[in-house]
Structure 1
Amino acid sequence: MAGELSELMRRVCVNEAEDEVVGYEGEIDNGSNNGFDKTLVGRIHSDRPYNFQRMKKALSAAWRPRRPITFKELDSNMFLVHIDHYVDLKRVLEDGPWSFERNLVVLKPIEKDEQPTESDMSKVSFWICLLNMPLIRRNKTWVRRIAGKLGEVMDVDDTYFENRSKHIRAKVMINILNPLCRFVNVMNLQNEKIRVYIQYEKLPNYCYWCV
């Protein structure tokens, strides 16, 4: 069977169009991206199929947009969502992560001239709380050092250092293809190892050991 297929492919004539490339000849790039600056590519972080219509209703209800938003279903649990109002777009990106039926929803702005299904959907920003942090280490420098063990530190919450909160919080961009970190070891002044435990906010179904 394999030999017959090879012989058949050998006999197929190559169409000359396959060697040509359709370019941008004569086009002027005026900086317009046809609204893609307000379009996000999304993915349901699960291998199981999901109900696209139910997902649209759930996310629309959670986001409460000022103007209508439109969804377009793609392959491999992925989708596009166009958010017409920049205030809505900013809130969707900053107030996450979002979830649907306890599965993480990964969202990111689509890059100009990018194929949505080839987008890197491996990173999500989480707000985390640092628990059991040694008193002597409770400053922004050490918060960034400890949180930086999990990923890129996007922000550190000022409310604890302004005596307006009991929680030490940081926003970290985390690679969700790796197991979640449960704690970070820190040395105190007595050269003793202390575990600083990580609490993830808005954490949906997610295994600490595997994905």
Structure 2
Amino acid sequence: MEAVEGMMSRMKLSAAEKKGIKVVAADGGRTGSAEPMAIGKVLVEKLVHGDGLATALGRIWCPIKGISCKDLGENRFLFTFHQAAGKRRALEDGPWMFGKDLVVMVDFDLSKSVDEWSSSMFRSGFVC
């Protein structure tokens, strides 16, 4: 155990790693051809399982084709909507609940890092 702790203490992040994680669209970053996406955060301290979240909210947002959900860590998720109207509904018709927990949604912006999305949620009046 001490050997692992020693290795961990010597690890340093590069300048690029310190900037945060950027999510690239599955189509290689081309705009206009990707399916609509949004970022969501579940405001709860316990960890949320993305598959359950996608199943529950996908039935509401995109009842015919559903959604995909990628876990970005810290209860933040990237939602891909397989119906164009699903994104509009997710962003405009909230607030949304998953169980007893609030789900905050913001539009996906390819140029922002995950931490910047959290900041934009905070500026919108939500606590992340």
Question: For the superposition of Structure 1 and Structure 2, which TM-score range results when normalised by the shorter chain?
Answer: 0.5 to 0.7
Count of aligned residue pairs for this structure pair: 99
> Over residues 151-206 of structure 1, what are the superposed CA-to-partner deviations in whole Å (9 max), with x where a residue is unaligned?
xxxxxxxxxxxxxxxxxxxxxxx6133xxxxxxxxxxxxxxxxxxxxxxxxxxxxx
How much does 1:34 deviate? 5.1
Distance in 1 (alpha carbons) for counterparts of 2:52 and 2:68: 14
How much does 1:35 deviate? 1.8
Q: What does 1:21-100 align with in structure 2 at a 5 Å threshold? A: 32=31, 35=34, 38-100=36-98
TM-score (structure 2 length as normaliser): 0.63
Q: What does 1:1-211 align with in structure 2 at a 5 Å threshold? A: 32=31, 35=34, 38-119=36-117, 120-122=120-122, 175-177=125-127
Change (3 A) 1:97 1:34: same
How much does 1:117 deviate? 4.0
Unpaired runs of 5+ residues, structure 2, are 1-5, 11-29
Name segments (4+ residues, structure 1) moved above 4 Å: none
Deviates more, 1:71-80 or 1:106-115: 106-115
Contact preservation (8 Å) 2:42, 2:103 = yes
Greater CA radius of gyration, 1 or 2?
A: 1
TM-score (structure 1 length as normaliser): 0.41
Contact preservation (8 Å) 2:61, 2:87 = no
Code of the aligned partner of 1:121: M
Code of the aligned partner of 2:39: V
Distance in 2 (alpha carbons) for counterparts of 1:34 and 1:75: 26
Q: Percent identity?
A: 24
Change (3 A) 1:34 1:53: same
Question: RMSD over aligned Cα, in angstroms?
Answer: 2.6
Contact preservation (8 Å) 1:74, 1:117 = no
SS at match of 2:45: coil
